[in-house]
């Protein structure tokens, strides 16, 4: 089923991203994924995936003392860290794609505004600004430009 494939890809990506933050043992990975994305990870998915990552040189496993007994701890290799960086970039571009259509741009300073903003009608047209200060600065620039234009016309 396609929706299950997407969910599995999200879980797999989440596992790689978690390991980019710090080394973890299997149970730690399961607990963190469930906490962060609200979906449990089945050990029958996790451990074969970790073995596949290790086989492909993306993860290294070592036994370390955790609590009262040693556990297998998984760490990303340099190649695994490169993959994590590519995943982060892909997620960032997907978020940008989602947010970009909802952004406005301040008429004065050009900063991007996701929500809200300050709206004011100037010269009969509504303009959006990030704040009242930018609106005032824009009006000051307009009046300064109009004043300069009057002076120039008076001199010619």
Domain of residue 52, CATH code? 1.10.10.10
Tens digit of pLDDT for each residue in 74-89? 999 999 999 999 999 9
pLDDT at 2: 55
What does the mean pLDDT of the chain come to?
A: 88
Instruction: Say whether both 114 and 72 belong to one domain.
Output: no
Flag whether the pTM goes above 0.85: no
**pLDDT class of 7 with cuts at 50, 70, 90:** low
Residue 125, helix vs strand vs coil? strand
Tens digit of pLDDT for each residue in 105-138? 999 999 999 888 999 998 899 999 999 999 999 9
pLDDT at 1: 46
**Domain region containing 72:** 2-101
Instruction: Say whether both 42 and 112 belong to one domain.
Output: no
Kindly tell me the burial class for residue 60, based on how many C-beta atoms sit within 10 Å of its own C-beta (0-12, 13-18, 19 or more): middle
Kindly tell me the burial class for residue 123, based on how many C-beta atoms sit within 10 Å of its own C-beta (0-12, 13-18, 19 or more): exposed
In the chain, pLDDT over 90 holds for what percent of residues? 62
Contacts of 45 (CB under 8 A, 6+ apart): 8, 11
Instruction: Say whether both 109 and 97 belong to one domain.
Output: no
Total count of domains within the chain? 2
């Amino acid at each position: 089923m396609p929706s299950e494939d997407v969910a599995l890809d999200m879980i797999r990506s989440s596992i790689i991203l978690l390991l980019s933050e710090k080394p973890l043992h299997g149970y730690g990975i399961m607990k963190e994924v469930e906490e962060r994305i609200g979906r449990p990870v089945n050990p029958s998915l996790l451990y074969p995936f970790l073995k596949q990552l290790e086989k492909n040189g993306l993860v290294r496993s070592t036994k370390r003392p955790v609590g009262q007994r040693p556990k297998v701890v998984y760490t990303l290799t340099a190649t695994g860290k490169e993959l994590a960086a590519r995943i982060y970039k892909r997620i960032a571009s997907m978020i940008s794609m989602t947010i970009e259509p909802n952004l406005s741009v301040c008429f004065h300073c050009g900063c991007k505004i996701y929500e809200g903003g300050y709206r004011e009608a100037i010269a009969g047209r509504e303009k959006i600004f990030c704040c009242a200060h930018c609106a005032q600065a824009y009006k000051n620039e307009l009046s300064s430009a109009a004043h300069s234009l009057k002076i120039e016309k008076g001199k010619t």
